[in-house]
Amino acid sequence: MIVAGFGCRAGASAAALQAALDAALVTVRARRPGLPGPDVLAAPLDRLAMLEPLADALGARLVGVDEVALRGQHTPTRSLRILAVRGCGSVAEAAALATAGPLSRLLVARHISPDRSATCALAQGSQT
């Protein structure tokens, strides 16, 4: 299972979310050609509705991640601002890892949309 985890500002556009996902996929596919698109899109519960159009377009399942699950994830990215606000180093990385399950691993750390309003990280796991 491939999980795309997202972090975003409240005003992030659908184009910004798509751009962050596209950048993450380009990076991971350079290392793993043929890797499929995400099976699941994950984001904090308060940002979930923003991802509905993208999930529908991709035919991916949408999963909300609560604050406790985000705080429980160790992420390679350590944003001090996000640590203070959300309790994790990267919302995108934490959402991807929490959703992919306990034996998951990041395929690619967060990628930032050109307008800096959205991030996306990809994880692989065995949970459904």
- SS3 per residue for 110-124: EEECCCCCEEEEEEE
55-77 pLDDT, tens per residue?
A: 999 999 999 999 999 987 889 98
Strand-pair category, 118-124 with 105-112: antiparallel
Q: Is this prediction's pTM over 0.85?
A: yes
Read off the tokens for 81: 């601002």
Predicted confidence (pLDDT) at residue 128 exceeds the cutoff of 50 = no
Q: What CATH number corresponds to the domain at position 30?
A: 3.30.420.180
State how many domains the chain has.
1
Query: What is the arithmetic mean of pLDDT over 79-100?
Result: 88
* pLDDT tens track for 8-59: 999 999 999 999 999 999 999 998 888 889 999 999 999 999 999 999 999 9
Q: Which range marks the domain in which residue 77 is found?
A: 2-124
